[in-house]
Every structure is written in structure tokens, then in C-alpha cells.
Amino acid sequence: MYYIGVDLGTSALKLVMMNSKGELVKSVSKEYPIYFPHSGWSEQKPEDWFIAVKEGLKEICEGAKEKIAGISFGGQMHGLVILDKDDNVLRPAILWNDGRSTEETDYLNNVIGKEKLSKLTANIAFAGFTAPKILWVKNNEPEIFAKISKIMLPKDYISYMLSGSFATDYSDASGMLLLDVKNKKWSSEMIEICSISENMLPKLFESFEVVGNIKPELAKELGLNEDIKIIAGAGDNAAAAIGTGTVGEGACNISLGTSGTIFISSQNFGVDKYNALHSFDHSDGKYHLMGCMLSAASCNKWWMEDILKTKDFSKEQENIDNLGENKVFFLPYLMGERSPHNDPAARGTFIGMSMDTKREDMTLAILEGVTFGLRDSLEVARSLGIEIKKTMICGGGAKSALWKKLVANIMNVEVEVPVSEEGPGFGAAILAAVGCKEYESVEAATKSIIKIKERIQPEPELVAKYEERYQKFRKIYPALKGIFKEIL
């Protein structure tokens, strides 16, 4: 049998097909537009996602339509999708990297209070989270707010369109600021604060649970069997963690995708005292801590394609040889920042240039800056007594040998590269297989499927150089923090 993972990314859709042995058989990508109506805003049309999903399913299932057993999802988190009573999309989805809800975020953190939010949801408010977006619609588009019948996350819109089941999973719901993460239920107090009702929210499932079957009319349209199971799936980072085998106590995964994350799985619920890291439910049924940067590989893409006007990323990196000695620093906050600073006003900054600064220095500064930013979150985890000696790595940035070396030495950890680097899509396919009883549990599936193809060890001399550079880097944001709001 075959299992399909649907990775609903921000830049593009990626579908992967896995067989019952856990081997990748095929992958398909589809693109859709992203809109920036105002500075700091980020939107997409849910209808575009579904068109891409249907096209992708037709393509990837060709030649294997009778053998598809299950479909699951890994999707961009936090996005607000709202439907009316007739299931019409009321407005474009407000995405995870949208920064418009600054006032609503401040209201939640400072009026409702961070301590209360943490008690109710295990997290504080970030502009990217879903609850501030709901309040923004209430405050700025009251005529639309009054028509809301269903509130859902991006991947759950696709699941709903495929199955008719109004459902979400605990890992993705954790990022809405509406879920009692510890007790795995909607928070009635947060629902009241957001002026909505619980029947507007989807039913909660574990990521590996079946939520329904594909709609008969859709199965007919796509030429698929009607008994294909639709499995809840997970937020993209939790799905990527499954795709890299990041389950169990203290396992770590770093994702260098459009956003950047450091993901630490745990058997037990926990919250850091400053809420600098997100405390979420994991797609294996347990818990995890996560630090999230809004811009990671997207910083490199911006630098290469928009500034240097090239798509040959490898060529730009091949002559870089001054590791640990670069005088240029880069703050990777092109869309504001989440962990650990929680500052939508933060912006990208180069500092330290001189007359002898070269193109390669600035390219290296981009990669270093993102890695330094991720280390900020790693340091929060270390302050909790969590010891991380190795990490898995995935995402587009993980294809760069240079970037993997930087991660190993800036963070002083062994970096493991899985055979499959498909990330959320592969993790979603594994969840589909577990949901269809191909494996008895997520942990059993990952132990059987995930293989390591490369290990990068930190080099003591380079670690020492980057320790010195990191201590300088961490002083830059505090020095510039007050300026960012003035220049917006």
C-alpha cells in the first residue's frame, strides 16, 4: 500500500508518496501565490491551496490509484482560515509570518496578562499566533467577524475539503493560543476572550488518528478509491520532527525552511519561565518545546535572488573560507521575530562592513546570522537543564554543506542528516501509515523508517571562534531594539 503526505508550505505545496516499507516512491510540487497587501502583512487564498492539492494528487497518484491507503498532512501553522455558514471562505488566510496583529498581541500579553495566558495555554501571545489574528478581524473587519461559522488552520482546510470532517490535531492547535496544551482541550476562557464559541472550532485529534474518508464525489473526480482514510496530520514542524525521527525524551531537530525552528521533543509537559520557547503538544502524542524564527532559508533566498540576482546558491558559497573570522554580522529579522525576542518590529540588519568587505562575507553573514538566531533558542533550552549533544536537520537550507557545518560549530552539537530530507511531507506520510495501522505507533514507525546518511562533527577550534562571535552577535539586537519601531 501507499501513503501520501501533503506538506502545505508557504512557498509551495509538496506531496510525497511512501510505500509500506517506509521508502519514498515519488514526490510532486505545486506553487501558489502569496500576497503582501501592506508592509508586514502576509496572506494566501485557501482556494489556491485546494486547487494545487487536487492537481498534485492527480499527478502523484497516477499509476497507483488503487493502492492509496491514506492521506495525511504537515502544514504551515497558525494561519487563520475562516468560513461562513455555507462554507465559503470569508477572506484570504492570514499567515503565520503576518505581523499586523501587534495591538492585539499587546492586549493579550499586557491586559489579559502573560501569566494568565501561560496558565491557560502554556504560551504567551505572538503576532503570528491565531488568537491575535481573530481579534484583529474582530477589531478591523467586524462585518466579516460576524459571519464566522468555522475557524481552522491551513492544513485543516485541506482536510475538511477532502473529507468533510471539521478536525484539527493537538500539535497544530497548540499554536492557536486557544488550546490548553497540558490537558489537550480547548480553553473556554480563551474562547471567551476572543469572543467566539467552541462550536466554531474543530474537533481535536491526535496527529495519527483517522478523521474520516475521502468524499465520494472527490474520489470520483480524482479517480481514487472511496475508502482512502484521511488522517489528522500535524503542524509543519511537528510533522518534520516525525520525518526526522525526532521523538522521545530530548531528541532535537533543526529545520532550515522558510522559517527556522529548533524542536526538542519530551515525554513530559514543560514551560520555560519566560515563555521564550513555545510549549506545544507533539504529533507522537507527547510534548515538545520549540523556538521559531520567522525568516531562515528565506533570508538566504532573499539575498541570493532579490539582491544578488542569482539562483546558483552553491556557487555563491563555494569560495567562502573564512569561517569563524567574518567581521560582518547579520540580524535575520526580515519579517520581525518570534523566538526568543517576540518583536514584530525587528528588522534585518547588516553591521560590521568596512571597505574590505566582500560579497562572500555578506553571504556568510546571512547563514551565520540565522544559525546564531537559532542558537538563541537553544540557549533557552540549555538554561532549563536540557542537554542537547546532537540534532537532526532538515529543510531547504540543510542541502548546503556549508550551512550544516555552521550549525555543528555554532551550536557545538553533532549534526545528523537523514536519508530523506522531505521534512513535513515525509512525516505526514508516516502519520498516514500509522493511522492506517501499518505501524503500531509513531515511535515504532520512525525507528523502522528513519536512516542516517551523514554526520557532521563540531571542530573544537572552530567552536571556540564561533563562541566568541556568538557572544558579540547576541549584543546587537538589544542595542538596536529601540530603533526598529522608529524606522518602521
Other C-beta atoms closer than 10 Å to the C-beta of 387 total 8
**How far, rounded to the nearest angstrom, does the alpha carbon of residue 366 sit from its chain's CA centroid?**
20
What are the cell numbers at 203?
Answer: 474537533
Q: What is the dihedral of CA 63, 71, 443, 267, to 10 degrees?
A: 160
Of 93, 100, 90, whose CA–CA distance to 77 is shortest? Answer: 93
Q: Return the number of other C-beta atoms located less than 10 Å from residue 115's C-beta.
A: 11
Nearest to 264 by CA among 127, 385, 172, 408: 385
Residues contacting residue 457 through CB under 8 Å, at least 6 positions apart: 408, 414
Catalytic entry in 98, 156, 180, 236: 236
**Catalytic (active site) residue 312:** no
Q: Which residues does the annotation mark as catalytic?
A: 236
